[in-house]
A and B are shown apart, each in its own frame.
Chain A
């Protein structure tokens, strides 16, 4: 069927802020699909509240709205832009839900707009629990015995008929949030209560527990003519019970025979056909390990995290093909872009093995429960490719950047046998390391399998790695052993550690004996056809396929690895834009990255893609083959920066700011010298290595002080210390995360925080705009609400900031990007920190100013000047609107995580509010972040003594807005004394009804809990209040400035919201 020519203008719905369960994969899918639509001459209107995405660039769509993803906003955009179609299947669950709501309310029909990609009926039958169950029953596809319940009583009644344990799955939630496994009635009531509240339709599925079965997924494509294919299947190493997003996944399946493989494949095709899906779809199965019995777990009628993984694992561009199908094409009409010869109507065949490991945030949230359940906790993931499973696993482990490069990690060697045995009951992210230790102690495969239900095939693979460790440790290193260790992807560092040799010795022995990495191509067809797209992975002991191109100047762009808190999608945005800019300038571009969710690892972004770990050794293997003319590290976050030294040793020139200057910005003494030279003030402080030294500095400059490690991103380990004891504690924590660099101790200044991103060409500097944080210093910049243009500082201060920025950029010899954070206090401007690299705010400021900063920085790096690029140096004219970046958190997914804000970053994503006035922008920012506090108009306030005077103003604003304010004794008393009608409620430790009953009673919208100190009190009460608030879906604020901002947003009455097409922005 040829393309449907009546489709001329399509509204694509994005997925909104990055949260756990909905991450960069939708930017990847959306970007690929938008490019695919534009390729067909379709005008693309894009809406997404997330400014950090590539899909919201004017290069990707024709009209771009960075607006809150609500039905009302979408209606306005549709009325303004008049698209003929809406494509809702690229924006994850958020996009799908919005598409459904637009359809259900009749708006689309009234306005002659249709849903393409998939119909509302299909979405309903795949997503609605009962609708899905009915559809599966109709075609005899088994699902686990289950019942949709809307209340606790029905849940208990049904469970009593099928027996414990049961799995609980709330309908229409992200990443299975609010779900879990209940083993008894108490757990059932707890999880069900939470799940019913989180579900958009107050529905929870109570289901027979099939935990321990194999979890298998199929990615399926279908066109409107009914042709369907499977792109690939995947096997979770962690059996059913762990969310697939938190499981280690291997593709293709390893322990399924052809009979099982084809049985589930046929089932997947039958399901996609019955549901009538056109486009991509993901089907998840539980397969009994000892029979052919299976159950369909769920179906996602859209692109998903798994489809992103499947695309990267096979080379088959699912989102691109899905977009073409939405336009009416059939699979046999769509060319396979990888081979350029075959068509999309075939099934990829892999001649390698792919392993995905989730990136979990427990290094950030040390108090959070590490247990993995059906509720996803990972913020991102890494993927690796090798021609053996062991090698793929080893590569994935080191790609995680968690200071782990082998299975000998997490200290399990110190466990007693009894402790190991007990630990086998714990399902967490350290399980493979635990199994490795069990194998070292001689535990049998069968026993480990019985305890974990992990297939013995995988256990044997771990055993092979353990045996190699022992061989390296106990025997003389022969060339044969070295070859085998490299085939299994043991890095030189681990071989060195085990053999007692130096890394250099191991490396020399390798090179002397020709044991070097070879690169193989991902070609979708197991070499059956010649492929055109150079997408490579490394193996040892094979013939190299990577062509050594020489025609053009070659640039190596280092990506940013897995998405984690502090280093998110923003850096992928920068890497991709830099790559595009280099390509425009005639360079051959090479990307190295290991994150399957991102745009940068799409097959046609760079000239060549190496899907590899970002370690010194892995990058060196690529450099050996490619011999690039230069590398650029300033766009890939800390991951890329960390490779600077190694690249220099390999003789690869670092383009842009020199490594020494990057060091100068991080090194306390060097930087102090620069500040002295440039006469720029900063908070006093010092560099220390021990707690003793830190206490000495702190007492000299006076508490409170900011304590932080150097060379980290997202303020990892950063804390505000108020006394010696806290210094002890924080330094202890910092030293746990393997600190090679010194620790910085600075006087904590509480003022306005200002942030600037700029481009410097060595002479001139271009500052697109100045951003001001709503929260005072002490809250990490990534967690602060950020306002552009800065709204409370005067022109004199702005001029001073521009001047300081220029001076610092020059003093540091910056060529390319620089990011600086300042404090403005009492009319003076202090520097907090300088990062001579791209930052988290780059995509945001690029979009709201219309200045393509990364593109400019890249051109500057290769020799252009700002003037040559058509820009007048200095601070650029301000926009006539306000754009506010709002952080978004995923605390509800992380049981036990401390939520109070401080110097260490905790947000997972962001959204943008843009408006004609500050108030409108703020209103939209809160709306975009999904903050909804107006249901009951009841709130709780608990405030530390020092903040009580300020709390009065906040309380008054909320009281005037009609809120009933509950407070514990001292806060209530203080508020009453100051004329606020606050209600006294008992503390948790006191008798019921107390503050906890109030929260659990589901009648509270908002908790304002300002902890005693800047870093969050550790008192049980405060922590419990905050956690329980979060887990019952109550919005929780821990900074006074945020509370005031929310009040402002609530006070804002909007008759009509402004829509700003970002693609048309030009302030010049």
Chain B
């Protein structure tokens, strides 16, 4: 069946329908990762957005047990080509079936590079995926312009508190093979005195990717996952050794209530580590606003520089907004990481506090495992290291 992608600037791409045939309006963004399409589909941070994969061959290894949450969150899916068959030893199904089961509307067979160039040049914009051949641009474009992502955190966060025990999560990789410890799962940089402490971590779920809790559990933490709207009092009542603020979707400034709770967490002196949306919310809670990037950073190849050491790490990224460090009060927080490509902020260290936040994704999935050591650092923070 034919499908159409209509952009708010009037551009129309004709392709083939994949997944659900229902019509959808969403914000169109592109992701440059060459692997990890399933992790992208199931990353709650994509709620309210339709994702275009710039890599043209998608679905090659099918659906593997690598979902970052229980379901797909993208509004729509845009690809050049879906593989006719999947091939992988862990493959449990095809991406075609997955998109249908998850009711994700999508379009294949379009010139994704041309689409990406439009988004790059004109900035992220809204669009519609439809199978209706008799679409009327005059009617559709005003509707596209009206669309906003809205309060998606409430949509993606968990409803109830839950607990993941220490070491309940296991790495998919065989033990003892390679130095995975230094990067992903085993915690090679955790100080000996901080090992086996079963630190209690409160994870605020703004749309957390599964590997955040898993990375902590694998490092011996007991992780209590709180819904996004949990109060600071409720969180602090469990007496956590550390608080983890997760990634999540949407415009950070809209999360007014959550920001108020974060202010209280800031004041609590419990060590805090925050990723992506969590990082932005902590900044806003401390008076530093965010702004929207022209087309965001979404992919697995972004270089970030640790300003303390000068070392550059390749990071996994997925964000449309960025902390406006021009408006940062240096007595509150100082930049800790910067993006080598465009100089935007990638992390903050809070002055006089045991709080550390990053814009990129040390939990990877998809993407490089280079910054997994930051979870080790969080554990050392809980051990008293500032």
Interface residues of A (CB under 8 A from B): 139-142, 225-227, 229-230, 252-259, 261-263, 265-267, 269-270, 289-294, 330-332, 341-343, 345-353, 387-389, 445, 455-457, 460, 464, 520, 525-530, 541-543, 545
Q: B341: CB under 8 A from chain A?
A: yes
Q: Within 8 Å CB of B301, what residues of A?
A: 346-349, 525
Query: What are some 14 contacts across the A-B interface (CB < 8 A)?
Result: A255-B61, A259-B64, A263-B173, A266-B178, A266-B369, A289-B89, A345-B340, A387-B81, A387-B113, A528-B30, A528-B32, A528-B299, A542-B113, A543-B111
Contact of B55 among A230, A256, A350, A456 (CB under 8 A): A350
Q: Roughly how many angstroms separate A267 CA and B183 CA in the complex, as a whole number? A: 10
Min CB–CB distance A834 → chain B (angstroms): 48
**Is B196 on the interface with A (CB-CB < 8 A)?**
no
Tell me, yes or no, whether B167 is within 8 Å of chain A by CB.
no
Within 8 A of A (CB), among B102-140: 111-114, 116-117, 120
Contact flags (1/0) for B338-370 with A, using CB distance below 8 Å? 001100000000000000000000001111111
- Partner-contacting stretch, out of B157-165, B279-287, B303-311, B376-384: B303-311
Closest-CB distance, A665 to chain B (whole angstroms):
45
| B54 near A140: Cβ-Cβ < 8 Å | no
Q: Which residues of B contact A263 (CB under 8 A)?
A: 173, 178, 180
Contacting residues, chain B, for A290 (C-beta < 8 A): 89
* Residues on A with beta carbons closer than 8 Å to the beta carbon of B116: 351, 526-528
Given contacts A258-B367, A525-B32, whether A542 and B341 have CB atoms under 8 Å apart is no
Residues of chain B within 8 A of A464, CB atoms compared: 84
The A contact surface, by secondary structure, is loop
Q: What A residues does B183 contact at CB under 8 A?
A: 266, 269-270
Q: Are A347 and B111 in contact (CB under 8 A)?
A: no
7 closest A-B pairs by beta carbon, nearest first, are A258-B36, A347-B301, A526-B54, A457-B87, A258-B35, A258-B366, A543-B114
Majority SS at the chain B contact face:
loop
Query: Which residue on chain B has the smallest CB distance to residue A520?
Result: B113
B87 to A456, Cβ gap below 8 A? yes
- A259 and B172 within 8 A (CB): yes
> In whole angstroms, what is the CA distance A294 to B340 when docked?
33
In the assembly, what is the distance between CA of A291 and CA of B175, in Å?
13
B88 part of interface (Cβ distance < 8 Å): yes
Q: What's the nearest-Cβ distance from chain B to residue A251, in Å?
A: 10
Closest residue of A by beta carbon distance from B117:
A527
By CB atoms of chain B within 10 A, which of A253, A258, A267, A541 has the most? Answer: A258
CB distance from B32 to the nearest CB of A (A): 4
User: Residue of B at shortest CB range from A527?
Assistant: B116
Q: Does B184 sit within 8 A of A, measured CB to CB?
A: yes
> Cβ of B81: which chain A residues have Cβ within 8 Å of it?
387-388
> Of B35, B61, B172, B341, which one neighbours A346 at CB under 8 angstroms?
B341
In the assembly, what is the distance between CA of A291 and CA of B173, in Å? 9
Contacting residues, chain B, for A252 (C-beta < 8 A): 34-35, 55
One digit per residue, 1 when the CB lies within 8 angstroms of any chain A CB and 0 when it does not, for chain B 30-60 equals 1011111011000000000000001111001
Query: Which of A256, A266, A343, A464 has the most B CB atoms < 10 Å from its CB?
Result: A266
Additional 14 contacts, C-beta under 8 A, given A347-B301, A351-B112: A225-B311, A255-B61, A258-B66, A258-B367, A263-B173, A291-B89, A330-B312, A342-B340, A346-B314, A351-B54, A353-B56, A456-B85, A520-B113, A530-B120
* Contact (Cβ within 8 A) B32 A255: no
Contact between B113 and A257, CB atoms less than 8 A apart:
no
A264 CB to nearest chain B CB (Å): 9
Nearest B residue (CB) for A227? B312
Chain A residues with CB below 8 A from B30, complex form: 528
- Name the residue of chain B whose CB is nearest to the CB of A342: B341
Knowing A225-B311, A258-B66, A341-B341, the reply to whether A267 touches B178 (Cβ < 8 A) is: yes
Query: How far does the Cβ of B68 sit from chain A's closest Cβ, in whole Å?
Result: 11
Q: Say yes or no for B319: interface residue by CB 8 A criterion.
A: no
Q: Which residue of B lies closest to A458 (CB)?
A: B87
Most-contacted residue by chain A among B57, B66, B176, B366 (CB, 10 A)? B57
Q: A140-B176, A266-B183, A289-B89 are in contact. Are A527 and B113 (CB under 8 A)?
A: yes
- Complex Cα spacing A753 to B163, Å: 87
Question: Which of B177-220 touch A at CB < 8 Å?
Answer: 177-180, 182-184
Q: Which residue of A lies closest to B114 (CB)?
A: A543
Alpha-carbon distance between A265 and B33 when the two chains are bound, in angstroms = 14
CB distance from B308 to the nearest CB of A (A): 13
Q: A140-B177, A140-B178, A292-B177 are in contact. Are A347 and B314 (CB under 8 A)?
A: yes
Please give the distance in Å from B81's CB to the nearest CB on chain A. 6
- Are the CB atoms of A332 and B340 closer together than 8 Å? yes
Tell me which of B34, B301, B305 has the highest count of chain A C-beta atoms within 10 A of its own C-beta. B34
Nearest neighbor of A253 in chain B, beta-carbon distance:
B35
CB distance from B64 to the nearest CB of A (A): 5
Across the interface, do A529 and B120 meet the contact criterion of CB distance under 8 Å?
A: yes
* A330 contacts across to B, CB distance below 8 A: 310, 312
Bound-state CA distance A436–B33 (Å) is 31
Write out the residue numbers on chain A whose beta carbons fall within 8 Å of the beta carbon of B173: 259, 263, 292
Using Cβ atoms and an 8 Å threshold, which residues of chain B touch A266?
A: 178-180, 183-184, 368-370
B264 within 8 A of A: no
Q: Check if B300 is an interface residue, CB within 8 A of chain A.
A: yes
CB contact between B57 and one of A261, A353, A525 (< 8 Å): that residue = A353
* CB of B174 within 8 Å of the partner chain: yes
Chain B: minimal CB distance from A491 (Å): 21
CB distance from B174 to the nearest CB of A (A): 6
| Pick from A227, A253, A270: contact of B182, CB under 8 Å | A270
> Which of B85, B112, B179 is within 8 Å of A270, CB to CB?
B179
Nearest to B310 among chain A residues (CB) is A225
The one of B57, B178, B299, B311 in contact with A389, judged by C-beta atoms closer than 8 angstroms, is B57
Q: Is the CB of B39 within 8 A of A258?
A: yes
Interface residues of B in 70-88 (CB under 8 A from A): 80-81, 83-88
Give chain B residues whose Cβ lies under 8 Å from the Cβ of A270. 178-179, 182-183
Q: Which residues of B contact A387 (CB under 8 A)?
A: 56, 80-81, 113
> Is the beta-carbon distance between A227 and B311 smaller than 8 angstroms?
yes
| A332 B305 Cβ-Cβ under 8 A | yes
Contact B87 A255 (CB under 8 A): yes
Question: B306-345 interface mask toward A, CB cutoff 8 Å, 1 = contact, 0 = none?
Answer: 0000111010000000000000000000000000110000
